[in-house]
Amino acid sequence: MTTTPARAGPLRAVARELLDLVLPVTCAGCGAPGRPLCPGCLARFAGPPRRCEQAAGRLDRMDGTVLPVWALAENDGAVRRAVIGWKDRGRADVTPWLGAAVRRAGTAVRGEVRGAVAGPARGTLLVVPAPASPRGRARRGEDLVGALARSAAAGLRDAAPLPALRLARGGRDQVGLGVRGRAVNLAGRVRVRPRTRPELAGARVLLVDDVLTTGATLAACRSALEGAGAQVAGALVLAVTRPPGSPTGWLEAAANPG
């Protein structure tokens, strides 16, 4: 008898819970015992957020400018392992650690975000998480990116988290999809939650997501929000994937020329 894929997920989750009872906490980035993120891996998320929109091809705005995106880290090595563990392998215990880093990042980019869209700085900045698929949320048990958005809003001050977006049915969870598959999977599926429309109209928004790769997710989010009358000032992501052909460390090099 074989285990069907439909049964494997829940069984794995139960097995992990049982293991957690007997195994010590390990770092989601490097496996070192002691904490959900060891000091070394946590440090990868602790530097000043860096502008990274040049890594993604799909963030051009209608007005010819590019949506600003700030990233905490490059999505490789321990960062990549930690983010995958957090999102897809049941390491929700990492959320508070990443949340603290995102909160600091929010404070660090506060002035830049407020200056990123034209017009008077009026009202509360709304911090909108990129939507999770219903399936992904069910599997993870909570909206992880929503938790990051709450942390970012706390760091930005005069800001409020607003889970204004959802994914319409019809696609699948992004896990395991290639770059092109992700773009197709998301195209046209990001929707504004109707009850949030009054708040969005005329408001300035900062998007929050976990990883920036092609920019397809953020582009779809921005277009939905702009359709509701919001001005999207930019996005804050945990990690950015290195563009093909770029050397290791390109993010630091691009942000700190010389």
**Interface residues toward Zn ion, by CB under 5 A:** 27, 29-30, 32, 38, 41
Q: How far is the CB of 92 from Zn ion (least distance, A)?
A: 17
Cα dihedral 247, 148, 186, 11, rounded to 10, equals 100
CB-nearer residue toward Zn ion: 41 or 203: 41
Burial 140-169 (b: 16+ CB within 10 A, else e): beebbbbbbbbbbbbbbeebbbbbbbbbee
Q: What is the DSSP letter of 33?
A: B
Question: Minimal distance in Å, beta carbon 37 to Zn ion?
Answer: 6
Q: What's the closest the beta carbon of residue 189 comes to Zn ion, in angstroms?
A: 35
Residue 92: Cβ-neighbour burial (10 angstroms; 0-12, 13-18, 19+): middle
Rounded CA-CA distance 159/110 in Å is 10
Q: Which is nearer to Zn ion, 77 or 243 (CB)?
A: 77
Identity of the residue, 101 or 233, whose beta carbon is nearer to Zn ion in the bound complex: 101
Q: How far apart are CA 222 and CA 164, in angstroms?
A: 11
CB of 26 to Zn ion, least distance (A): 8
For residue 99, the minimal CB distance to Zn ion (Å) is 17
What's the closest the beta carbon of residue 100 comes to Zn ion, in angstroms? Answer: 15
120 in the Ramachandran plot: left (φ > 0), alpha (ψ -120 to 50) or beta?
beta
> What's the Rg (C-alpha) of the chain?
18
Cα distance between residue 129 and residue 157, in whole Å: 16
What are the tokens at 235? 């996005």
